[in-house]
Amino acid sequence: MPDLNMPPSTSLVNVVLNLTVGLILALIVSWYYEHYAQSLSNRRKFALILPVLTLTTALIITIVKSSLALSLGLVGALSIVRFRTAIKEPEELLFLFIAITIGLGVGADQRWPTVVGVLMLLGYMALRLLLTRRPQQSNLYLNVLLSEAEDQSSLFQRVNERLLQYVPALDFRRLDSRDGLLQLTYFVQCENPQVLNDLMDDLKAHLPVTEVSFIQQEQVLGG
């Protein structure tokens, strides 16, 4: 009967090779996500997580794959961990699964199936993006919540000036003032999601902003 507490030794060269292949694939996926994803979140920061997640998954699988005792211990450890960070966009969840899949594949010594599978998946997504890409503008409702630390009219003017530096057209819809907070609602056009990240950073850096949110609304500006 095999000893469950003493897993067989794993070749260090094989481990390094698996991690190297996983890192290369993860960097390719990370680059694709940063340049071609449609998420409104900060894609650059999120992309940095993917290689780390891949290597972590590969290392875990490498350690526990040959030992039933370690596998059961991993299940027990994960059962007491609670992940509270919500994934707000399905595209982020998709790329997280891709990173985990790469880690599982190389960690289980399935390098070639993993390489072929990931390249086919990225090729399909790139082809779909190429065939479906249209010069269509993305129309959004923008809600900005600010602390009324200064005159309301001056604050409203400063927000408008900042917005016009990033969007070609601006349609003001609503103003609410309550409990020392000023809420402004706009309808804006934006073709590049990365501009939205720069816009949010600029507003938070130069104005007393407490909250910024975007709501997708596919209709003609001013409609």
Burial of residue 193 (number of CB atoms within 10 Å: 0-12, 13-18, 19+): middle
pLDDT at site 135: 46
CB contact at 8 A, 23 and 51 = yes
| CA 24 to chain centroid | 19
Is 0.75 surpassed by the pTM of this model?
no
pLDDT at site 219: 44
pLDDT block averages, 10 residues each, the chain of length 223: 52 92 96 82 84 92 74 58 62 90 91 95 91 62 79 80 83 81 82 79 84 65 42
Neighbours of 202 (CB within 10 A): 15
Sign of the alpha-carbon torsion through 218, 220, 221, 223: negative
> Which stretches within 152-192 are classed as H helix?
152-164
Tell me where in the chain the CATH 3.30.70.260 domain(s) lie: 138-216
pLDDT at site 53: 92
Q: Does domain 138-216 have CATH number 3.40.50.720?
A: no
Burial of residue 138 (number of CB atoms within 10 Å: 0-12, 13-18, 19+): middle
Helix (H) or strand (E) holding 133: none
